Amino acid sequence: MGTDRPRLDAHLPLRRVEFHILLSLAAGERHGYGIIQDIEARGETSVPDVGTMYRALARMVEAGLIQASARRPAPDTDDERRNYYRITSAGLRVARAEAQRLGALMRAAR
């Protein structure tokens, strides 16, 4: 991980919405609104609006933290207009680094 550190640090600190997206996608592929629903289900009080969500998704695809997923649910349970996303290995490393950064911050605050 030593050689990855500079590349990871380039993404840190993450914006709050970006960290929530990575947490959501670490659990499995989702579409944008599904990510918003997952954030709400985790009890987050500040849930991003749709515009904020899709701008963040576009930034994160560009950065290589997430990517569009070609896998789709069964047609009878899917809406073809939905775009599904998945976390990349780089996105998973960045999410872990951000969690460590936040953990260190919390320890320092105590």
Two tokens at 105?
């911050």
Q: Which fold, 5-109?
A: Arc Repressor Mutant, subunit A (1.10.10)
Exposed, middle or buried, 27 (CB in 10 Å: 0-12/13-18/19+)?
exposed
List CB contacts of 91: < 8 A, sequence separation 6 or more.
22, 25, 60, 64, 65, 66
pLDDT confidence of residue 6? 65
Check residues 46 and 56 and name the one with the higher pLDDT: 56
CB-side exposure of 69: number of CA atoms within 13 Å? 19
User: How do residues 49-93 score in pLDDT, each as one tens digit?
Assistant: 999 999 999 999 999 999 999 877 666 776 777 899 999 999 999
The pLDDT confidence band at residue 47, using thresholds 50, 70 and 90, is very high
Give the domain ranges of the chain: 5-109
Long-range contacts of 99-104 (CB under 8 A, 24+ apart): 101/12, 101/13
The model's pTM is: 0.88
